Amino acid sequence: MRAVSVALLTSLAALLSTQVVEVRCLDMVIDNDFSSNSVTPLFPALANANVSLLAVTSVTGNTWNAQSVGHLRRYLQAVGTANNSDSQRAAQVKAVSGANRALVRTPDSYEADAALTGRLRFAGAYRPFNATAEAEGADPSGDLQNNARVTLQGQERPGPLSGALQESANLYAPNFLVEKSREARAKNATFSIAAIGPLTNLALAQAQDPEFPKGVELWYQGGYLGTGLEAVLSVINSDYYVDLNTAIDPEAAKAVLRAPYARIVCVADFTSKIIASNDTLSRAAALSDSASDDQRYLARQISDPVEVGLPAWDDIGVALPIYPELITKSIKVRLDVDARAGGPAYGKAFAWLDDLAPSGLQEVEFPLSINETRFFEIYVSAAQAFINPK
């Protein structure tokens, strides 16, 4: 009897296992400098059940890390409240605090170098401290010594932490990334990082564990090559074509882009030309009559942004590792970043074809275009999964 039932169970198990549908599962981390209205890059990763979002990590860039991780927690709380599977998955995502400052560059060195290096139209955390703006809730800038201050007010403030947010509250992004790379390498696998902010956390992870890059496919929103001409064609271009992520932490960018990652893709210049139409934004932000306060809050991130008309830089940076088939044209280059302070090339990227490149540079995939129609379809449906969930 017993032997028969074991045989029966075994064949049942075999039958069940062959019927399990093969699902492509992408292990992924999003690393970003969150500021106001930066929830949308989370949507494509959260809305796709094939993505296992291991964590979202925070870093200094547009503002200081402490404020950035505050924004991130609020965004994750807002997406985790609906009663459906997307929302339940989102509620499991860790928010991990990272580097408080760049490796070398500071607000003071930015100011001190400006006569030689030039200025950024938007300098993120390096903008001068403005007490009035911060009292009104603006993202902190300047005053490096007090970089842990958080100015989030009203609906922008995260509620008390619970669940995954509470459990991840004491993790540190470089340590977390090192651990995930170790786990991946132990399985002869990799995980993807959509690095859509400065590369400080990755540089610190590499310094801790030189093997770290080998477990990571890096998708970096930076490494612009066309900034010289583009940035002087109009005032708007002088804001859109600066490669801010590289400029905030040039030393980290140089170290990371020279390290032996399993793959490096720079999601750069072309993204500055891709801007959602008003129709796309309205469709992404459409609410039902019975929308909750959190859904209305998420919709306003799109329909009532602090700054209108910005390119979809970070949204593309997250979508491409999930939907690489969006890429319609791409070249391969050897890429480097100039990290010599005190000159106009400080924080700028340069590239060569293989046979002409200086030694020691990694091969970088450099997309030149994507299917924008398809990208915005994904953008709208991913936003709607949380703003107007079914």
Give contact residues for ligand NAG (rule: CB under 6 A).
23-24, 48, 50, 83, 130, 132-133, 136, 188, 278, 308, 371, 373-374, 377
- Rounded Cα distance, 141 and 145, in Å: 11
User: Which of 7/211 has CB closer to ligand NAG?
Assistant: 211
Q: Closer to ligand NAG by CB, 83 or 359: give it.
A: 83
Query: In the complex, what is the shortest distance from the CB of residue 156 to ligand NAG, in angstroms, rounded to a whole number?
Result: 15
Distances 240 to 120, 149, 221, 233 between C-alpha atoms, Å: 10, 28, 13, 11
Q: Nearest distance from residue 281's CB to ligand NAG, in Å? A: 8
Asked whether the beta carbons of 104 and 251 are under 8 A apart, the reply is yes
CA distances from 263 to 56, 219, 349, 364 (A): 20, 8, 18, 8
**Residue with Cβ nearer ligand NAG (50 or 170):** 50
Q: Is the dihedral of CA 73, 76, 81, 85 positive or negative?
A: negative
Which of 2/24 has CB closer to ligand NAG? 24
- The nearer residue to ligand NAG, 293 or 377, going by C-beta atoms, is 377
We find the least distance from the C-beta atom of residue 373 to ligand NAG, in angstroms, to be: 4
Tokens describing residue 286: 């459409």
Q: Residue 301 corresponds to which tokens in the numbers above?
A: 């991130």
The distance of closest approach from Cβ of residue 371 to ligand NAG in the complex, given in angstroms and rounded to an integer, is 4
Q: Which of 24, 71, 102 is nearest to 347 (CA)?
A: 102
Shortest Cβ 48–ligand NAG spacing (Å): 5
With respect to ligand NAG, which residue has the nearer C-beta, 23 or 115?
A: 23
Instruction: Give the shortest CB-327-to-ligand NAG separation in angstroms.
Output: 11
- CA gap 336, 359 in Å, rounded: 10
CB proximity list for 301: less than 8 A, separation 6 or greater: 37, 39, 40
| Structure token digits, residue 4 | 């028969």
